[in-house]
Amino acid sequence: MTITLADDELLVAETFGPTVQGEGPSTGRRAVFIRLMNCNLTCKNCDTPHTWDDTRFDLNAAGTVVSISDLLAWATAQPVDLVVITGGEPLIQQRRLIPLAQGIVYAGMQVEIETNGTIAPAPDLLAWVTRFNVSPKLSTFGAGMPISRRIKGRVLRRFAVSGRSVFKFVVSSIADLDEITELVEVHDLAPVYVMPEGRTAEEVTRRLAEIADPAIERGFHLTTRLHLLAWGDQRGR
Ligand code: SF4
């Protein structure tokens, strides 16, 4: 994908909302979303491959160049107080996210950024982001990628010590909880949320029931995927 961006532009997959944040500590909170194109990982179970997988999608058609001022005008006109910036991997475009996050905060709103935790946040971005929802990829979810590509210890520590991050792991079985425990101990990560993998309300509900007690015993918080329970696997909800 060869699109050249000006300094005041972002490559956007979609904007949507008002809806609710469906995952993590802000679950249920009214929000709007800005989903950015491109990712530096290739997770087997990715639920947004249209942002990066050029073997299955026409990325030139999927992405739109939008000016930061237009994004700000759209986001700050919404009747919510939370903007979630997601992807793809938003931190690929992080230099351009600084004025966007700053403008959102100046408008009296909060900003969450969802990231896979492999790209360190710049200090100028950290200053404006209310919370990073950091989602490191486990061996099952990111099958085919070596751990050195999925897990960057120094980057995870940077998020952990920022005081502005939570760590959210997508879990497909109880066995994943052991892998999370090891990562949490090695990299000193907290707080930790675990979330059931699933593309349907039935899958999410069944896996949540399987992992709930063992996750709590290990000291982890739980989150569901509220948007899936409410609307199913609809894009833009
Ligand atoms: S990091 Fe996220 S967006 Fe990127 S491939 Fe993995 S699940 Fe998809």
**43-60 residue pLDDT tens:** 998 999 999 999 999 999
Q: How far is the CA of 70 from the centre of ligand 1 (A)?
A: 26
39 touches ligand 1 (CB under 6 Å): yes
Could you tell me the pTM of the whole model?
0.97
CA distance 237 to 19: 6
What spacing in Å lies between the alpha carbon of 43 and ligand 1's midpoint? Answer: 5
Is 100's C-beta closer than 6 angstroms to any atom of ligand 1? no
Look up the CATH number of domain 9-167: 3.20.20.70
State in Å: Cα 125 to ligand 1 middle: 21
Give, for ligand 1, the residue of 85, 116, 138 to mutate: max count of ligand atoms closer than 8 Å to Cβ: 116
What is the model's pLDDT at position 4? 87
Domain ranges of the chain: 9-167
Atom of ligand 1 nearest to the CA of 118: 1
- The dihedral through the CA atoms of 180, 182, 187, 191 has a sign that is positive
**121 Cβ closer than 6 Å to some ligand 1 atom:** no
- Residue 49 CA to ligand 1 center (angstroms) comes to 7
Residue spans of the chain under pLDDT 50: none
Q: How far is CA 19 from CA 53, 197, 200, 227, 228, in A?
A: 26, 21, 18, 8, 12
Q: What is the pLDDT of residue 1?
A: 60
- pLDDT at residue 142, as a whole number: 87
